Amino acid sequence: MKERLHKVLAHAGVASRRAAERMIVDRRVRVNGTLVLELGTQVDPAADRIEVDGRPVACREAKLHYVALNKPTGVVSTAHDPQGRPTVVELVRASQRLYPVGRLDIDSEGLVLLTDDGELTFRLTHARFGIEKEYHVHVACPQFGEQHLELLRRGVVLEDGPAQAAHADLVHTNARGGVVRIVLIEGRQRQVRRMLAAVGCAVERLQRVRLGPLRLGDLQPGEHRALRPREVSALRTAVSLPG
More confident residue, 79 or 159: 159
DSSP for 121-149, written as a single string: HHHHH-GGG---EEEEEEEE-TT-SHHHH
Q: Looking at the annotation, which residues are catalytic?
A: 105
Do residue 136 and residue 193 come from a single domain? yes
pLDDT exceeds cutoff 70 at 60:
no
Please give the radius of gyration of the chain, using alpha carbons only, rounded to the nearest integer: 20
Do residue 200 and residue 189 come from a single domain? yes
173 in a structural domain: yes
233 in a structural domain: yes
Over residues 175-213, the pLDDT tens digits come to 888 999 999 998 889 999 999 999 999 999 999 999 999
Do residue 115 and residue 222 come from a single domain? yes
- pLDDT confidence of 66, banded at 50, 70, 90? very high
Do residue 16 and residue 42 come from a single domain? yes
Over residues 3-19, the pLDDT tens digits come to 889 988 887 778 888 88
Taking a C-beta distance cutoff of 8 angstroms, is the pair 33, 47 a contact?
Answer: no
Q: What is the mean pLDDT of residues 31-50?
A: 89
160 in a structural domain: yes
Taking a C-beta distance cutoff of 8 angstroms, is the pair 80, 88 a contact?
Answer: no
| Predicted structure pTM score | 0.77
Do residue 70 and residue 184 come from a single domain? no
What CA–CA distances, in Å, run from 68 to 30, 74, 170? 33, 18, 26
Taking a C-beta distance cutoff of 8 angstroms, is the pair 208, 131 a contact?
Answer: no
pLDDT exceeds cutoff 70 at 156:
yes
pLDDT exceeds cutoff 70 at 1:
no
Give me the CATH number covering residue 173: 3.30.2350.10
Q: How many domains does the chain fold into?
A: 3
Question: 217 φ, ψ to 5°?
Answer: 65, -140
pLDDT exceeds cutoff 90 at 139:
yes
pLDDT exceeds cutoff 70 at 62:
no
Print the domain residue range for 206.
Answer: 132-211
pLDDT at 243 (0 to 100):
63
Over residues 84-120, the pLDDT tens digits come to 999 999 999 888 889 999 889 999 999 999 998 888 9
121 in a structural domain: yes
First to last CA, the chain: 21
The chain-wide mean pLDDT, for the chain, equals: 91
pLDDT exceeds cutoff 80 at 242:
no
165 in a structural domain: yes
Under DSSP, is residue 164 helix (H, G, I), strand (E, B) or coil?
coil
Quick one: which H or E segment has residue 234? helix 229-238
d(CA 202, CA 209): 20
What CA–CA distances, in Å, run from 242 to 41, 43, 232, 234? 25, 22, 10, 10
